Chain A
Amino acid sequence: MKILGTTALAGALLAASFAFAPAPAMAGKADDTLNAAFALEPEALDTYKIAGREGLILARHIYDGLLYKDLDTGEIKPALAKAWRFVDPMTMEFDLREGVTFHNGAKFTADDVVYTLTTVLDPAYGTRFRIAVDWIDKVEKVSDFQVRIKMAKPFAGAVEMLADALPIYPAAYFKEVGSAGMAAKPVGTGPFKLTEMTPGIRYAFERFDGHYAGSPKGKPAIGKIVVRTIPELNTQFAELMAGKLDWTWRIPPDQAARLASRVQIVNGPIMRISYVGMTVTGKGKDYPTKNLKVRQAINHAVNREAIVKAFAGGASQVLNTACNPKQFGCAQDVTKYAYDPAKAKALLTEAGFANGVDIEMVFAAMPRPVAEAIANDLGKVGIRTTLNEQQYAAGVQKWRAGELPAFFTNWGSYGTGDVAFIISNFFGGGADDLVQDKEVMELVNAADTSQDRALREANYAKALKKIADQAYWLPMYDFNINYGLSQQLTFKPHPDEFARWWLSSWK
């Protein structure tokens, strides 16, 4: 807390000093180098072992996938595969692009696709998220420039996954050096090649002039990128204003407002949403959240509009469903719970808690003030909430063990615009599903395994409607990100939290 206090103090002083700061010098434009900073250290640049966004962003500059999703149009475009088709409902066939070269000079062929995907498919390889690859049964070479992927199960998210999330490594090099070698010296076909790396600290990239013509990523306008880790946000701001940084992100709303007069601030919504999950099954414990009326009371008691306005700012908005409206299948025609403390009290009385009720809410990876605001609103209607802040890992472990009546946290859907990547996890009957509503489970599973978009949409809509009717969640709001940019940089944010520096240019 002491650190927080001094941060605020120093931040205020820093903000006050903005007026005296000299005008920012030309940052990286002069030497055509985009200087970027993250607060968190990127992971090893073997995409299949990365969980954090920072490493994934860097990896997408180095590697390409078979397909590419243009987030501006929602269209899936050909990338390393120039065409693809479903041969049957469980088999995808890809015609590969010829004349593509890896950063080490190796030529791209079907062998690279087969070896890469077959290797990361093996559980012993330790691919971080099984959801990314467990739908693949096997990958077969048809010819030097044609491959087939046989699916292990019907999976609606297959195409999304192939769009840049499953990059192709150079087979011979990958075979020789393995995952650790790829992490130490990554080689891909992407628009940038890594020229220098101090792991976690500094990464230098250079535009790859051999990047294949016709790539949906296009030819980058900027020649070089240097990414550094600067953990302290105030230090990042000082660098940004002194003209030594061109790009940074995740700037808190209040700081963004202060910085806006000195640097470019760009705000954009993202796929990540916050929510309060409620335990319905309880695994032997008699939580008040088992009672529908209590859950409805919780939904009516929290003034989400005010919370979003006060804490989230930017493009964030209140949610009514257990997903992000930007995702495919995120139906909005559901029961909405307006802020109504009187109704919440009445519902609580009907539930048999006229004198109020005690509840524990663990929160993780969410700001304490927001958790306190929720607890305060709940307290006003008689839901006395004990707040308990935990690291995400500790919180989710307790949640899975059924030891928490309520868990306030967030979920990013892997940055993917399809509800399969959120409600299947929380309502599909898995370890994170502490509702175990059979009807919802069936609807979700049917939608997840179908390629019929209309059927999927209808099933998800029915599931989301029931989730809202039963008030299984208190959906809170979707997030937005403030990017701090040098005045010379053109950068477009995307809701999947992947910075696409290959699309950036100097003004």
Chain B
Amino acid sequence: MLPFLARRLIVAALVALAVSAVAFGLMFVSGDPAVVLAGQAGRAQDVELIRQVYGLDRPIPLQFLSWIGNAFAGNFGTSLYFNLPVAPIIAERLSVTLVLGSAAFLLALVVAVPLGILASLKPGGTIDRIALMLAVLGQAIPSFWLGLILIVIFGMWYGLVPISGTESWQGYILPVVVLSYYAMPALMRLTRAGMIDVLTADYIRTARAKGASQPRVLLVHALRNAVLPLVSLAAVQFGLMLSGSIVIESVFAINGLGRLAWESLLRSDLPVVQAIILILSLIYVTLTTAADLINAWLDPRLRSA
């Protein structure tokens, strides 16, 4: 297991580094950051001055190397937009995103997995049809629209929860519901499909013949094998939630990492964008590596892969 882990960690670090380098290059390809920083009222001479003051006139590879060197030393630089150190800004937004993403992910799992198991017991039955309908709705309804509807009903009409912001914990309720509803369909479908597949296998018949109870058959024998693809999907879904849904963050005025990334990209705030990309790519590779490790633990045959 250890060499497997070491191999994965090295790959993960290299991926994060490569993503950062590509992202850095793309920021310049997509337009001159100095022009963006100068703003709409910026004249050509303002652009030139910004280029010099912020060191944007240096060769791009050199800029990247100096950035990555500082980043490794724990210095993410200063935001060009806020004129403040990047690290505290990101820490502030990351904490919001972690709460929102984790809560939504847990809610999605808690609802989707049991629902998928129940639906798999009798394909075509009432529960199955209800579950599939919920899944279809979850995929079809834009989260943007759902968010605004919930705001109107629970925020405006009944005044039960705040309409926007996360100044109180109640502010998280609606966005968590919307974000988790967005993630549920895929998790539910995969659980259902995996369980249907596994439940017809010989070893389940054997388990039942040996007199194992229904919960034991489902949760111990079937689920362990059925969840293998689910673990990989869940890792990606969780990553998506942590990278933040820009749409949901916008609707609920939640200042998470996703929106910060998007806004910083639009205003060419290079140090912030780079730091976020590095953090997000590290989160992604960590999650997918964790998923691989969990799968290897669940199914020893994968360890030699």
A-side interface residues toward B, CB under 8 Å? 2-3, 6-7, 9-10, 13-14, 17, 20-22, 41, 43-44, 46, 49, 51-52, 123-131, 179-180, 183-184, 198-201, 228-232, 234-235, 238-239, 241-242, 244, 365, 391-394, 396-397, 400, 410-412, 414, 425, 430-432
Contacts and interface: CB of A to CB of B under 8 A. Distances in A.
A128 B156 contact: no
B144 A3 contact: yes
B46 A2 contact: no
Given A44-B84, A239-B164, A394-B31, 5 more contacts: A2-B142, A21-B157, A22-B157, A126-B50, A397-B31
B40 A365 contact: yes
A345 to B, nearest CB: 35
A393 B35 contact: yes
9 contacts: A41-B263, A128-B42, A129-B46, A230-B165, A231-B253, A242-B156, A410-B40, A412-B41, A425-B43
Contact of B152 (A6, A17, A391): A17
B164 A235 contact: yes
A430 B54 CA distance: 23
Contacts of A128: 38-39, 42, 46, 50
B88 to A, nearest CB: 9
Contact of B42 (A129, A229, A235): A129
A229 B144 contact: no
A391 B144 CA distance: 24
B102 interface: no
Nearest to B253: A230
Given A51-B42, A128-B42, A199-B84, A393 B152 contact: no
Nearest to A9: B145
B251 A43 contact: no
A225 to B, nearest CB: 16
Interface stretch (B75-83, B123-131, B196-204, B276-284): B75-83
B255 interface: yes
B6 interface: no
> Which of A3, A232, A391 has the largest number of chain B CB atoms within 10 A?
A232
Contact of B43 (A10, A17, A365, A431): A431
Given A10-B149, A14-B152, A235-B164, A391 B36 contact: yes
B34 to A, nearest CB: 9
B255 A200 contact: yes
A411 B30 CA distance: 23
Contact of B32 (A124, A184, A241, A397): A397
A5 B1 CA distance: 50
Nearest to B52: A123
> Which of B38, B40, B159 has the largest number of chain A CB atoms within 10 A?
B40
B261 to A, nearest CB: 13
Contact of A432 (B43, B52, B149, B268): B43
Contacts of B42: 51, 128-129
Interface string B228-253: 00000000000000000001001111
A232 B83 contact: no
Contacts of B40: 51, 365, 392, 396, 410-412
A199 B41 CA distance: 23
Contacts of A125: 53
Contacts of A397: 31-32, 35
B114 to A, nearest CB: 30
Interface in B103-162: 142, 144-145, 148-149, 151-152, 155-157, 159
A184 B251 CA distance: 28
Contacts of B268: 393
B259 interface: yes
B83 A396 contact: no
B164 A13 contact: no
B12 interface: no
Contact of B156 (A130, A201, A241, A432): A241
A183 B79 CA distance: 11
A311 B247 CA distance: 26
B44 interface: yes
A400 B48 CA distance: 13
B163 interface: yes
Contacts of B49: 123, 126-127, 130
B89 interface: yes
B92 A198 contact: yes
Contact of A183 (B36, B82, B165, B251): B82
B44 A238 contact: no
Contact of A229 (B37, B50, B148, B253): B253
Contacts of A126: 49-50, 53-54
Nearest to A241: B156
Contacts of B41: 51, 129, 411-412, 414
Q: Which 7 A-B pairs have the closest CB atoms?
A: A51-B39, A431-B44, A44-B83, A126-B53, A10-B148, A183-B83, A393-B36
Contacts of A14: 148, 152
Interface string B60-84: 0000000000000000001101111
B190 to A, nearest CB: 25
B253 A235 contact: yes
Given A10-B148, A17-B152, A393-B268, A432 B44 contact: yes
> Which of B78, B148, B250 has the largest number of chain A CB atoms within 10 A?
B148
Contacts of A6: 142, 144-145
A461 B198 CA distance: 84
B84 A184 contact: yes
A134 B189 CA distance: 64
Contacts of B36: 391, 393
B28 to A, nearest CB: 12
B45 interface: yes
A231 B152 contact: no
Contact of B151 (A2, A184, A200, A235): A235
Contacts of B31: 391, 393-394, 397
Contacts of A431: 43-45
B32 A180 contact: no
Contact of B144 (A10, A52, A183, A199): A10
A199 B35 contact: no
A17 B54 CA distance: 49
Contacts of B45: 130, 430-431
Nearest to A424: B43
Given A6-B142, A130-B43, A230-B164, A199 B253 contact: no
A130 B46 contact: yes
B202 to A, nearest CB: 46
Contact of A430 (B44, B83, B92): B44
A235 B163 contact: yes
Contacts of A392: 40
